[in-house]
Amino acid sequence: MTTLQRTVGAEVTRVEGREKVTGTALYAYEYPVPDALYAWAVQSTVPRGRVRAVDAAAALALPGVIAVLDSHHVFRLRPTDAPELAVLQSPEIAYRGQIVAAVVADTFETARQAAAEVRIEYEVDDHDAELKDGDPRIFVPDTVNGGYPGRTETGDVEAALAAAPVVLDVTYTTPPEHTAPMEPHATIAVWDGDSLTLYNGDQGPWMTATRVAELFGLPEGAVRIVADHTGGGFGSKAIPRPPTVLAALAARAVGRPVKVAATRQQMFTMVSYRTPTLQRIRLGAERDGRLTAIWHDALQQSSTLSPYCEQTVTPTRVMYAARHRRTTHRLAQLDVPTPSWMRAPGEAPGMFALESAMDELAVELGIDPIDLRVANEPSVEPETGRPFSSRNLVACLREGAARFGWAGRDPAPGRRREGRWLVGTGVAAGNYPALTSPSTATARAEPGGGFTVRIAAADIGTGARTALTQVAADELGVEIDRVTLDIGRSAYGQAPWAGGSMGLSSWGWAVSKACRALAKRLEEVSGAIPPGGLEERADTAEDVEARREFSRYAYGAQFAKVRVDAVTGQVRVDRLLGMFAAGRIINPRTAGSQLRGGMSMGLSMALYENLETDPRFGDFANHDLATYHIASHADVPDVQAHWLDEDDDELNPMGSKGVGELGIVGTAAAVANAVYHATGVRVRDLPITLERVR
Ligand code: MOS
């Protein structure tokens, strides 16, 4: 297509930018729904047990309180494979912070006040919220999140390790982390007979509608999600969370629309978190650096409700060649809230461990860490033998090194000093699968000359709406200002979530197909649009299914320069440079922003983010943004993201791989490796706090 070059690839500014900066863009909680009431969740103060009695008298005595709901008063939901969504379905308590009652009142403040007056009598059971290796309850799941096998094995890893001239055997840990989107979870639920509209901060409107309909035993289409704008999610809004279900249950119970907004404090227990990990990596290598054995094991936690297991060792299955390999996930189900997706689930913690280990091996062998990675570049995907649709990791490492100024680096640690600061540099690689899911879209030529494209996509701040507008405009061969992208409504049909970095590749395919069909129709009618307009609908289920078998991944190389205070151990990241290969970049402005955002989040993971589990209570001691530290502007001085031109015909019509998660993968290892180079101290436990460096 000659037109494809026109706006795809251009730095188009966000089509909804003005609405957002002028405050006219509506987020879930802001929709003007008449007659709405407010619900406030009462959360369990015990980690395990059951509710024996709920004394609502004092709450109900407050003026403006409409109802106090507990497990005796609400609609019976259908059984679900996500039991944390079975809100108020039984008196049983599986974690501290679980919703055990709710107050519905005429104002937000009254509901909050009344919730504090609800007296819950508990029967308390013993609990165990501590992730410990050796726990007899630990098991290896058959499959983990994403449908990957829980365990893989090739060759004889133990024999290969025993025979290897050089062996590295190290353990890394990462703490639980919280997604902390800027917009807390919020929902307005409106019932009309047996149909339900949810204004919902949402990464996947169609998928949320489908799940909520299942929960309430309603036919497909009876639940409609409206999510025009969503203020971040990072995985936490990829499926409905308890506050959304509470809004629907409460609205049904009182027969009026109900609004629920999680407070920042409530967010920390109610909307999921990233599992902590304990990862042991064993590498066997020849003296020239070639790996003979890779064994990566990850121990993680979930709740007793659900065996959610993050795919932490999956990147190791793809990254480096070695004849003998074993990867295992192990899971302990504890009396804790259920973890779930957080940006690059599995990949982010897994690659912290693998890429730290590769750096340790490079030091051990006296080989440059880039050369070590290049020496272990596989020609096909190591465990499956699948060919790569494209793989430009080596090019990313080389080009990134050139831009960063890696050449001539003295590998000796603890040698460079600038005043009180020790200075060092580090590198790490990353990857992220290039996923695609079936999607539908409609494209409409309006009689006035404009075009409307509808798809149940979500723009969670990524710029997806803008990039899709570019794809549509190019397929239609028109200027982008003639195209309106309507997204965020489940009613527009099947579409995957803004998750797994698959949004643009999946939605864009359907948009491209619908627009291409419409352009053809317009040609047939010589551009004469009938008074009712012309519409084409596209579904990519068959196209996605028909793709050939390939290993499809985006890759990246990340470089960090850090300073470490020789006295206090404080770490400052002076510079991050990422070089990525992610297929065709549709919009350099928004894609660059995604990658830099991911890298900044990776920096934050490296140095700050840490949910402190309190084993006495089974949840987190820090539950606000004052005590859960996230990198701020002053912590992120110079973050550059670059990319290679990558042509890959085995992806989708746009040739895109997705960039939402790639940026966070490897960043923490690059920082930790730079800290080692600066100080000679190898920090294997995140975050890299002062006491760990000194
Ligand atoms: Mo991302 S954690 O798949 O929303």
Take atom 4 of ligand 1 and give the residue whose Cα is closest: 235
Average pLDDT estimate for 75-94? 96
Task: Supply the pLDDT for residue 3.
Answer: 41
Neighbours of 637 (CB within 10 A): 11
Average pLDDT estimate for 140-157? 98
Helix axes 588-607, 347-365, angle to 10 degrees: 70
Residue 238 CA, closest ligand 1 atom number: 4
Candidate of 177, 236, 308, 343 to mutate for ligand 1, largest count of ligand atoms within 8 Å of Cβ: 343
Neighbours of 382 (CB within 10 A): 22
Distances in Å between the Cα of 607 and the Cα atoms of 29, 34, 569, 612, 683 are 33, 46, 12, 14, 11
Between the CA of 675 and the centroid of ligand 1 the distance, in Å, is 28
How far does Cα 214 stand from its chain's mean position? Answer: 24
Pairing mode, if any, of strands 258-261 and 37-43? parallel
Task: Supply the pLDDT for residue 542.
Answer: 98
Using DSSP's 3-state secondary structure scheme, residue 205 falls into helix
Which residues, 6 or more positions from 673, have their beta carbon under 8 angstroms from its beta carbon?
355, 356, 359, 369, 426, 427, 428, 560
Task: Supply the pLDDT for residue 2.
Answer: 44
Residues paired with residue 559 on neighbouring β-strands, in sequence order:
427, 577
Residue 203 CA, closest ligand 1 atom number: 4
Instruction: For residues 426 and 411, give the distance between their C-alpha atoms in angstroms, rounded to a whole number.
Output: 10
Average pLDDT estimate for 234-250? 97
How far does Cα 377 stand from its chain's mean position? Answer: 27
Residue 235 CA, closest ligand 1 atom number: 4
| Residue 583 DSSP symbol | B
pLDDT at 5 over 60: no
Percent of the chain with pLDDT over 70: 99
CA angle (616 as vertex; 47, 58 as ends), nearest 5: 50
φ, ψ of residue 590 to 5 degrees: the values are -75, -35
Among 3.30.365.10, 3.60.15.10, 3.40.50.10260, 3.30.420.40, what is the CATH number of 145-177+274-434+549-693? 3.30.365.10
Fold: same for 4-25+437-545 and 145-177+274-434+549-693: yes
Instruction: For residues 563 and 574, give the distance between their C-alpha atoms in angstroms, rounded to a whole number.
Output: 7
Distances in Å between the Cα of 190 and the Cα atoms of 35, 76, 544, 693 are 10, 18, 35, 53
Between the CA of 27 and the centroid of ligand 1 the distance, in Å, is 20
Amino acid at residue number 258: V
Among 1.20.1510.10, 3.20.20.80, 3.10.270.10, 3.90.1170.50, what is the CATH number of 31-126+182-232+237-270? 3.90.1170.50
Residue 497 CA, closest ligand 1 atom number: 4
Candidate of 341, 502, 594, 662 to mutate for ligand 1, largest count of ligand atoms within 8 Å of Cβ: 341
Which residues, 6 or more positions from 28, have their beta carbon under 8 angstroms from its beta carbon?
183, 186, 187, 188, 199, 200, 201, 202, 226, 227, 230
φ, ψ of residue 668 to 5 degrees: the values are -65, -35
Instruction: For residues 684 and 360, give the distance between their C-alpha atoms in angstroms, rounded to a whole number.
Output: 11
- The answer to whether the bond into 687 is cis (omega within 30° of 0) is yes
* Residue written as token pair 């006035």: 448
Question: Residue 564's closest CA among 416, 395, 369?
Answer: 416
Candidate of 308, 504, 661, 665 to mutate for ligand 1, largest count of ligand atoms within 8 Å of Cβ: 661
Instruction: For residues 9 and 429, give the distance between their C-alpha atoms in angstroms, rounded to a whole number.
Output: 25
CATH T-level assignment (fold) for domain 4-25+437-545:
Aldehyde Oxidoreductase; domain 4 (3.30.365)
The answer to whether 551 and 318 are in contact (CB under 8 A) is yes
Which residues, 6 or more positions from 634, have their beta carbon under 8 angstroms from its beta carbon?
none
Residue 237 CA, closest ligand 1 atom number: 4
Percent of the chain with pLDDT over 90: 97
Between the CA of 250 and the centroid of ligand 1 the distance, in Å, is 28
Instruction: For residues 562 and 575, give the distance between their C-alpha atoms in angstroms, rounded to a whole number.
Output: 7
The answer to whether 192 and 485 are in contact (CB under 8 A) is no
Measuring from each residue's beta carbon to the nearest atom of ligand 1, which residues come in under 6 Å? 203, 233-235, 238, 341-343, 345, 499-500
Neighbours of 81 (CB within 10 A): 8
pLDDT at 134 over 90: yes
Residue 343 CA, closest ligand 1 atom number: 2
Among the residue ranges 544-548, 617-621, 635-639, 643-647, the one predicted with the least confidence is: 617-621
597-626 confidence digits (pLDDT tens): 999 999 999 999 999 999 998 889 999 999
Determine whether 310 is an active site residue. no
Between the CA of 272 and the centroid of ligand 1 the distance, in Å, is 12
Between the CA of 524 and the centroid of ligand 1 the distance, in Å, is 42
Instruction: For residues 556 and 659, give the distance between their C-alpha atoms in angstroms, rounded to a whole number.
Output: 10
The answer to whether 662 and 580 are in contact (CB under 8 A) is yes
- Written as six digits, the tokens of 402 are 């050139």
Task: Supply the pLDDT for residue 1.
Answer: 42
Average pLDDT estimate for 366-384? 98
445-462 confidence digits (pLDDT tens): 999 999 999 999 999 999
Q: Of 399, 536, 661, 691, which one is the catalytic site residue?
A: 661
Question: Residue 581's closest CA among 389, 378, 348, 407?
Answer: 389
Residues paired with residue 280 on neighbouring β-strands, in sequence order:
171, 297
Q: What does R_g of the chain's alpha carbons equal in angstroms?
A: 26
Neighbours of 409 (CB within 10 A): 17
pLDDT at 102 over 80: yes
Task: Supply the pLDDT for residue 469.
Answer: 98
Phi-psi region of 527 (alpha: psi -120 to 50; beta: other; left: phi over 0): left
152-165 confidence digits (pLDDT tens): 999 999 999 999 99
**Dihedral (Cα; 341, 342, 345, 348), 10-degree rounding:** -170
Pairing mode, if any, of strands 639-643 and 571-581? parallel
Which residues, 6 or more positions from 534, have their beta carbon under 8 angstroms from its beta carbon?
444, 445, 518, 521, 522, 525
DSSP string, 166-200: EEEEEEEEE--B----SS--EEEEEEETTEEEEEE
Between the CA of 404 and the centroid of ligand 1 the distance, in Å, is 29
252-299 confidence digits (pLDDT tens): 999 999 999 999 999 999 999 999 999 999 999 999 999 999 999 999
Task: Supply the pLDDT for residue 618.
Answer: 86
Between the CA of 347 and the centroid of ligand 1 the distance, in Å, is 11
Task: Supply the pLDDT for residue 437.
Answer: 97
- Domains of the chain: which residue ranges? 4-25+437-545, 31-126+182-232+237-270, 145-177+274-434+549-693
- Written as six digits, the tokens of 273 are 């978190």
Task: Supply the pLDDT for residue 619.
Answer: 86
Whether pTM > 0.95 for this model: the answer is yes
In this prediction, residue 191 has a pLDDT band, given cuts at 50, 70 and 90, of very high
313-353 confidence digits (pLDDT tens): 999 999 999 999 999 999 999 999 999 999 999 999 999 99
The answer to whether 584 and 422 are in contact (CB under 8 A) is no
Instruction: For residues 304 and 320, give the distance between their C-alpha atoms in angstroms, rounded to a whole number.
Output: 35
Burial of residue 108, with CB atoms counted within 10 A of its CB: 0-12 exposed, 13-18 middle, 19 or more buried? middle
559-605 confidence digits (pLDDT tens): 999 999 999 999 999 999 999 999 999 999 999 999 999 999 999 99
428-441 confidence digits (pLDDT tens): 999 999 999 999 99
DSSP string, 20-75: HHTT-SPBGGGS--TT-EEEEEEE-SSSSEEEEEEE-HHHHTSTTEEEEE-TTTS-
Question: Residue 335's closest CA among 300, 299, 298, 301?
Answer: 301
Between the CA of 498 and the centroid of ligand 1 the distance, in Å, is 7
In this prediction, residue 4 has a pLDDT band, given cuts at 50, 70 and 90, of very low
